[in-house]
Amino acid sequence: MYTFAIVNQKGGVGKTTTAVQLVAGLSERGYRVLACDMDAQANLTGTLLGEESLPEDAPTMYEVLTGEAQPGESVLEVRRGHLLPASRANKNLSIIDAAIGNHPDKLYRLREALSKVADGFDFAVIDTPPARDTLAYNALAAATGVVIPAIAGEYSLDGIADLADSIDKTRRYTNPGLSILGVLITQHRANTKLAQGMAEGAAAMAEDLGTRVFPRPIREAIAIGESQACYTDIFDYAPRSEVAGDYRAMVDGILEEVADGR
């Protein structure tokens, strides 16, 4: 099983949206996909569940990370593949350090959990929190490759710079084979000075990271917000839209990187 982590330590850059579209795009191509929600906000969980509610007795990522539940019994079948959902209010991922913070294996919990279900899936996609914390480092330790969403703006690039340090530490201490598949420009407004400057800055930063910027950015589009309001992906909501084409190109580019052994 190849595991993607969608990571940027700055919020609001489109991590969850990217994760949703990657899960949907891979599922649309017939791959067996497991979506893993490591963000306490649980937006990936909400989108993939659609109008359904999380069953009251369903174990979640919190129970998996604490060892209270096995990953196999925590995975839910959803419309697009399968889901390891984020936690509920009384056992929220935001307090995971209180439960496992003193354990020497706290950064390996997700990797160990995914190893137990790996035979059932072709890909796993991990949505991560906008932080440098136990959850984010668990995702990096479990991942095969990283996709970095970024938007036009200095703070988004700062998030990439912070992430570079986290990836370096992860490679040194927990996951030496971790690769960076590329930087994905999201919420793109063509022909603006900010977008042009962002492209140049992102390209320079990607080169420093030993990776690339995906050649086709994801344009800013009302259809994305509308699809989120309907708890679905862009391929279901507006399959012929230009932004759906952008995300299909993203999926194709990521699969090419995986096929090349990155």
Query: 190-216: per-residue pLDDT in tens?
Result: 666 655 666 666 777 777 777 788 888
- Tell me the domains of the chain and their CATH numbers: 2-257 (3.40.50.300)
Q: What DSSP string runs through 19-61? A: HHHHHHHHHHTT--EEEEE--TT-HHHHHHHTTPPPPTT---H
Q: Are 252 and 26 in contact (CB under 8 A)?
A: no
**What distance in Å separates the CA atoms of residue 157 and residue 163, rounded to the nearest whole number?**
10
Q: What's the pLDDT at 108?
A: 93
Q: 117 falls in which pLDDT band (50, 70, 90)?
A: very high
Each residue of 120-149: pLDDT tens digit? Answer: 999 999 999 887 789 999 999 999 999 999
pLDDT of residue 262: 64
